[in-house]
Each structure stands twice: as structure tokens, then as C-alpha cells.
Structure 1
Amino acid sequence: MIAIILTVITAVEVAVFYIPALHPVLPPVLLILSAAKFALVVMFFMHLKFDSKVFSGVFLAGLAIATFMVSALFLLYHWLPAVEAKL
């Protein structure tokens, strides 16, 4: 059942990419769909849904650190140079 849901989400991602009217909102839509797929894979294939909450906490802590690092690097390399160029 999970494989079917993941396949449907992937098909929606591909379809969204090829619909020209959705190009302005493409990144947020793809990020949301990817996050949904990620959550399903983590919950069911990594068995975190049925394991101890400690394992979920350890996983989420690592995920939070990774999210912070990606956001910080994006800010550092993409947003700040644009701000400096305007000054």
C-alpha cells in the first residue's frame, strides 16, 4: 500500500513539472510532495512509526541539524551576496 502511495506522489511530482501553469509555484509544491514522501519512507520503511520515541527523537534531532545547516548555507551563499551587491 505504501509503495502505491509513493508511486502516486512521484507521478504527481512529474505531472506538476510538466504543467506550465504551475511553474511559478513549482518549488514549494515539489518540496511539499517530497516532504510527504520522506515522511512516509521514514515512518514505514525505517519503522520509526512503531519504534520507541527515543529513536524518533534522535532521528528528528539529526534532521533539524541538517535543515538548519542547509538553510544557513543557502542564506550564506545565495541571499547575503545579493544583499551586499545592492549596498
Structure 2
Amino acid sequence: MRSDFPRKKLPGPATSGKPSNTSLIEGIIEIARSLKLDIIAEGVETKAQFDFLKSHGCDQVQGYLLAGPLSADQFERNHVLRLRAAGS
């Protein structure tokens, strides 16, 4: 299925922070950039992982560093309603 928003998602195991994954992550990001894809990293759990991904041009991250899994109701309560209240 093709998305209207081209992106490459880096799987959690790739972002584990192991030195052996560094070249892999850099290569994937470089290829995604050359294809003009947005890059989203899964499974980001530490500030060091976040900083590495940010410094290499990763566009978005998701993982326990930012928030644990939320139900739809929790997400709406925590984010959607707050945005509506702020006028967004």
C-alpha cells in the first residue's frame, strides 16, 4: 500500500544503539534522504539514541523515551483534546 506521505520507518531493533547498527542506520537514513522520504525511528528508549538519530537527520521518533503505548481514549485525552483547547 502506497502512502500519500512517503516515509521510511527504522525498526526498533535497528535503533538499539549497538555499535554494529551505526553504519546500517546511517546508510538507511542516507538512502531515504536521497529518495526524499521522511524518516521515522521506532523503539527509541534513551536520550543517546534520540541524539544519534537527530544528529543523523532522522525526522521523527517514537518509543518509550517519549511515551509508552496509549489506548485510543488515552491518546485523545492526552493529546487531541489538549490541541483543541489550545485552538489548533
Q: TM-score, normalised by structure 2?
A: 0.31
Q: TM-score, normalised by structure 1?
A: 0.31
Higher strand share: 2
Tell which structure's C-alpha radius of gyration is larger: 1
Q: Per chain length, whose mean CA-contact separation is higher, i.e. which structure has more relative contact order (CA < 8 Å, sep 6+)?
A: 2
